[in-house]
Structure 1
Amino acid sequence: MVTIKDVARRANVSFTTVSHVINSTRPVSPETAKRVNAAISDLGYLPSEVARSLKSNRTRTIGMIVTTTSNPFFGEVIRGVERACFEAGYALMICNTDDVTDHLVTYMHTLFTKRVDAIVAMTSNASPDFFEKLGQIERVPVVAIDAPPHSVSSVVSDDSILGGRIVADYLAENGFSRIACLSGPAEHPRMIDRIEGFSSALARHGLKLEPDLLHRASLTMEGGRLAARPLLAGPAETRPQAIFALSDVMAIGLLNGIRELGLDIPGDVSVVGYDDIEFAAYTFPPLTTVRQPAIELGTVAANALIDHLDHDRPLPPTIAIEPTLVVRRSVASPSGN
């Protein structure tokens, strides 16, 4: 294995001079630096990142804890985090917890062992227990995505209350009066906010989200598929005219479940999702949804950490990104049903 001393011999300089060239810790003449860099290139020398991190107390590595990388929304957020890390010269380590608190604790200790500089956390459960554990073992700056406010150093999310209002206004103004809601876990902060915004906006139109039309399922495609039957089990005159699914992943499953019941979308029932993941534009029919810019969420979270680490800028307690409605073909105004 090529060492720094091998480079020094090839360049005919001391190994401390090689170190100064590599780490930019002291001015070196252009001619000497050129010889050192030529020797590094000729010998294929790779500086020890471990040694460099011990000197600087930084590894330029960010850890990321997610429920699962197979979730399309999470995948897009990860792309945003990874892109920001790459552009700033940081590496990214990703750990899947499957929303198991014991896994969170284990992975956090693993990331600390690897001496990451900061952590991005994102979970589909967002239970108080998860963030209580996260807070107890937090040793580096943490930015959480879609987490309860003030649960960690900084929280990045969309304005989900506004997102819920946008959907309620859109459906009410297009003539819908019987509207169901398909939610994820009751304790998830974004689910709570979206239902709050949706319900309050419906009330302004003289409508109400009836308790029997609020159905909860797992935040998966299968959860959405299985929700179709209980939501649409009644006769045509009493079943919902539209269903607002609080995530695109559930909405995509719901579209399949509705077709399995022999119903037409949007002829028999309209569907609105939330997130605008890439798949949403390619469902059948293409999904009308609220755009929560996933890649931007990841980029904003990573950049907040990088600015904090590199420039000592304070982490903002909360960062909210405004959602917008994307109208496609899964909604059609009800025809008197």
Structure 2
Amino acid sequence: MGILTSSATILAIESSCDETSAAVCRNGEIVSNIIATQAVHQQYGGVVPELASRAHMQNILPVVQQALQAAQCELQTVDAIAYTQAPGLIGALLVGSGFAKSLALALDKPLIAVHHMQAHVLANLIGERRPAFPFLCLTVSGGHTQIVRCDSPLQMTVIGETLDDAAGEAFDKSAKLIGLPYPGGPLIDKYAQQGKPIYKFAEPQIQGLDFSFSGLKTSILYFLQKAQKENPEFVQQELANICASVQHSIIQILIKKLMKAAKETGIKEICVAGGVSANSGLRKALQATGERFHWNTYMPAFEYCTDNAGMIAIAAYYKYLDGQFSSLDASPSARASW
């Protein structure tokens, strides 16, 4: 199918993990983006898949209604329905995909399946300031850490990725070792701003553009065990400096690989995306590195960093323009390659 008219209204649904979100994209602009979070997981120290699925079932209808209302849009006037197909928690994905398919079938509208991580990359195309193609995107979240080369909205290549844990996972697990509640990543960021990175941890030596964070976590664990054995009050007394040191270590690993990727590709349009891109330390480091190497750097607005339907909608918009629609038989997947 050839290129369609750019005049299109798309309703998008995101339900890959523990945020239920709906957004409306009109002619390539996000006009509403509603997100319902799930506080129920905090007491368990992490996302409980079954509870996430149940919460999605409760939230999805009111969230969609709010998104349509905020956009002053009638459901019947929507041109296509988009949803997150993969990757994510399979039960959570089934709720969103089932709802989207039901809407598409009932309204006789085209259906668009979106890859969650590709949508994170394209969050950089939301708003007035957008990167030129080709660009590199450091995509960092709780489940993924990748460097993606993006030659067009529909042509992306992963040129580096984590071999074990993701950066967001390293933040959250380090926070747990420190004794901070879930989700710990934002708390490390908060306390890091009050301290200095005076403690050093082992940095993984991985060739190429791939990442590894498991060794760093082990180094942090042994450091804390030794320090607390010598001084049981160490963490309480040094919380800000510990958080600053952990954050600095993770960010340095990310930035060094991004510098290597930029040098190897010659690309100076550099983006960041994913939940960890909301981290203030990473945003400052990217900006400083960009100024040093004369990059043009881009960061999504905070509401488009964490999981949200706005990024699903913008990805779906470009698929709509190219006529890339999905069948009702398409199945969600917990893991999906690009």
TM-score scaled by length of structure 2: 0.34
Query: Which protein is bigger by CA-based radius of gyration?
Result: 1
TM-score scaled by length of structure 1: 0.34
Which structure is richer in relative contact order (CA contacts within 8 A, separation 6 or more)? Answer: 2
